[in-house]
């Protein structure tokens, strides 16, 4: 089915399509970029599908990269942007529930569209032909519906990652999942065990970064959570508060999602899913602070500030503000922000970096090198967090000497 409809494409994509056509091949923009354009979203990248074989694509364009030549994909560079150009393809049998054991090329666009996961992702477009919508993608899009192309049980059996993609798209687009597709998700849930944890994580992270991260609940409602990770499944979602107003940052969304988990469970889940260490460390800190009833007084706020990087503390302020349910909680959040502003403007010391003495200074004053030096710096910082006016070299060295019985500041010449 072809529909007259005009989609604005980047020049590079237009040029690739018209060059291929000029050589007698068919070529279309396809998949996510068509979906997003029709919905008024900005596509991340433009994929092109063509009847030309990879060697033929390489004959047409000077600058190409063999991205996945065995799957028919060649990247064509245009104006510094890479476009993936893939030959019309039929996926062979799926043996491992994730990857086709072979692919074969076809000259029929419809066959290529049939292998795609959801109807809204199975549309192609070119200026000449207009929209090619063989499986009712436009209608599903208008109805706000995620529906598999063909039999959903079969499609999820072929590739279990599609189970999570369905839920992820429903969160990104605020769509519902069509009944048969939804039933098949529940039936096929155990197959998710065959998918690499990295891929599971990528989908869950995209879901959490979407405008509707609360839809992560569907992962539980559909019965797939046990196949994400054991600790993930055990999470208590009673007070799930992750929402689309939170900053779009990985550690913020994961941190809020995991805020009611113990620190150990939170880290376990992130490790299970192979999240990067930076994110894990930030979530670990957020997990300790999000639910803490921090008084907006200066000492407590300095303590909170000293526990993390300034930018993470800013995220925490945003989180507190956005999660505040009652007027009182909102007010507390506002006061915490205000107090931290005062502390920053005044330049109070809230980290070892800002402390008026260094480990070097302590050793010069007679302290033996070793672990005790670090512990002493921590002690001095804790004192300075209580009373910022103590952050002077002489004062701190005297404090250290009193505590540690070393010679202390030089009192003679």
Query: Contact positions toward ligand ATP, by CB under 6 A?
Result: 31-32, 44, 47, 116-117, 121-122, 159, 161-162
Judged by beta carbon, residue 38 or residue 355, the one nearer ligand ATP is 38
Q: Is 101 helix (H, G, I), strand (E, B) or coil?
A: coil
**Helix or strand (DSSP H, E) at 228:** none
**Residue 246 vs residues 5, 235, 237, 255, 276: alpha-carbon distances, Å:** 35, 20, 18, 11, 21
Q: Is the dihedral of CA 374, 379, 382, 383 positive or negative?
A: negative
Q: Of 14, 15, 23, 32, which one interacts with Mg ion (CB under 5 A)?
A: 32
Contact 146, 175 (CB under 8 A): yes
Q: Is the dihedral of CA 304, 309, 310, 315 positive or negative?
A: negative
The partner in contact with residue 162, picked from Mg ion, ligand ATP, none with C-beta cut-offs of 5 to 8 angstroms by kind, is ligand ATP
| Beta strand 176-177 pairing with 145-146 | parallel
Interaction between residue 82 and Mg ion (CB under 5 A)? no
Interaction between residue 10 and Mg ion (CB under 5 A)? no
CB of 45 to Mg ion, least distance (A): 5
The partner in contact with residue 116, picked from Mg ion, ligand ATP, none with C-beta cut-offs of 5 to 8 angstroms by kind, is ligand ATP
Judged by beta carbon, residue 32 or residue 226, the one nearer Mg ion is 32
Q: Is 99 helix (H, G, I), strand (E, B) or coil?
A: coil
Let me know how long the chain is. Answer: 413
CB of 118 to ligand ATP, least distance (A): 7
CB of 93 to ligand ATP, least distance (A): 14
The partner in contact with residue 117, picked from ligand ATP, Mg ion, none with C-beta cut-offs of 5 to 8 angstroms by kind, is ligand ATP
CB of 194 to ligand ATP, least distance (A): 13
Judged by beta carbon, residue 192 or residue 285, the one nearer ligand ATP is 192
CB of 228 to ligand ATP, least distance (A): 17
- Binding window for Mg ion (CB under 5 A); candidates: 5-13, 29-37, 218-226, 350-358: 29-37
Q: Which are the contacts of 53, defined by CB distance < 8 A and separation ≥ 6?
A: 72, 87, 105
Q: Taking CB positions, which residue lies at the least distance from Mg ion?
A: 32
The partner in contact with residue 359, picked from Mg ion, ligand ATP, none with C-beta cut-offs of 5 to 8 angstroms by kind, is none
CB of 292 to ligand ATP, least distance (A): 36
- Binding window for Mg ion (CB under 5 A); candidates: 27-35, 130-138, 164-172, 334-342: 27-35
Q: Which are the contacts of 255, defined by CB distance < 8 A and separation ≥ 6?
A: 282, 283, 286, 287, 290, 319
Judged by beta carbon, residue 244 or residue 409, the one nearer ligand ATP is 244
CB of 275 to ligand ATP, least distance (A): 18
Q: Taking CB positions, which residue lies at the least distance from ligand ATP?
A: 32
CB of 122 to Mg ion, least distance (A): 13
How many Cβ atoms are within 10 Å of 38's Cβ, its own excluded? 19
Report DSSP letters for 322-367, one per residue: HH--SHHHHHHHHHHHHHHHHHHHHT---SGGGSS--HHHHHHTTP
**Which has the closest alpha carbon to 382: 350, 359, 407?**
350
Q: Calculate the CA dihedral of residues 341, 345, 349, 354 and round it to 10 degrees.
A: 120
- Binding window for Mg ion (CB under 5 A); candidates: 18-26, 32-40, 257-265, 302-310: 32-40
202: its two tokens = 């990528």
Judged by beta carbon, residue 10 or residue 32, the one nearer Mg ion is 32
**Residue 406 vs residues 94, 362, 374, 399: alpha-carbon distances, Å:** 72, 10, 15, 11
How many Cβ atoms are within 10 Å of 320's Cβ, its own excluded? 20
The partner in contact with residue 159, picked from ligand ATP, Mg ion, none with C-beta cut-offs of 5 to 8 angstroms by kind, is ligand ATP
Judged by beta carbon, residue 47 or residue 361, the one nearer ligand ATP is 47
Judged by beta carbon, residue 161 or residue 305, the one nearer Mg ion is 161
CB of 160 to ligand ATP, least distance (A): 9
* Binding residues with Mg ion: total (CB under 5 A): 1
Residues lying near Mg ion in the complex (CB under 5 A) are found at: 32
């Amino acid at each position: 089915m072809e529909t007259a409809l005009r989609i604005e494409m980047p020049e590079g994509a237009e040029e690739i399509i018209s060059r291929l056509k000029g050589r007698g091949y068919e070529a279309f923009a396809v998949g996510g970029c068509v979906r997003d354009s029709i919905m008024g979203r900005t596509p991340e990248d433009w994929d092109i599908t063509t009847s030309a074989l990879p060697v033929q694509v390489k004959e047409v364009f000077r600058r190409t990269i063999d991205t996945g030549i065995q799957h028919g994909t060649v990247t064509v560079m245009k104006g510094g942007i890479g476009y993936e150009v893939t030959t019309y393809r039929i996926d062979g049998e799926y043996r491992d529930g994730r990857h086709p054991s072979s692919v074969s090329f076809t000259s029929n666009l419809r066959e290529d569209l049939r292998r795609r996961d959801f109807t809204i992702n199975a549309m192609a477009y070119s200026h000449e032909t207009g929209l090619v919508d063989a499986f009712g993608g436009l209608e599903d899009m208008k109805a706000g519906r995620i529906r598999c192309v063909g039999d959903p049980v079969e499609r999820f059996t072929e590739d279990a990652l599609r189970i999570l993609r369905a839920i992820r798209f429903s969160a990104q687009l605020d769509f519902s999942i069509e009944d048969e597709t939804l039933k098949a998700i529940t039936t096929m849930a155990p197959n998710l065990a065959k998918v690499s944890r990295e891929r599971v994580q990528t989908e869950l992270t995209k879901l959490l970064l979407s405008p509707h991260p609360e839809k992560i609940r569907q992962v539980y409602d559909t019965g797939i959570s046990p196949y994400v990770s054991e600790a993930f499944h055990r999470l208590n979602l009673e007070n799930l508060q992750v929402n689309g107003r939170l900053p779009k940052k990985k550690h913020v969304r994961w941190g809020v999602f995991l805020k009611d988990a113990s620190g150990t469970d939170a880290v376990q889940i992130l490790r299970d899913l192979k999240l990067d260490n930076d994110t894990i460390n930030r979530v670990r800190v957020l997990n300790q602070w999000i639910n803490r009833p921090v008084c907006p007084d200066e000492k407590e706020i300095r303590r909170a500030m000293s526990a993390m990087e300034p930018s993470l503390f800013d995220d925490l302020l945003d989180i507190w503000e956005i999660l505040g349910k009652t007027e009182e909680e909102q007010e507390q959040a506002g006061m915490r922000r205000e107090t931290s502003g005062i502390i920053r403007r005044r330049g109070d010391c809230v980290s070892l970096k800002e402390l008026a003495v260094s480990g070097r200074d302590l050793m010069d004053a007679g302290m033996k090198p070793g672990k005790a030096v670090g512990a002493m710096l921590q002690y001095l910082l804790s004192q300075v967090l209580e009373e910022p006016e103590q952050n002077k070299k002489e004062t701190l060295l005297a404090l250290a000497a009193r505590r540690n019985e070393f010679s202390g500041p030089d009192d003679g010449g």
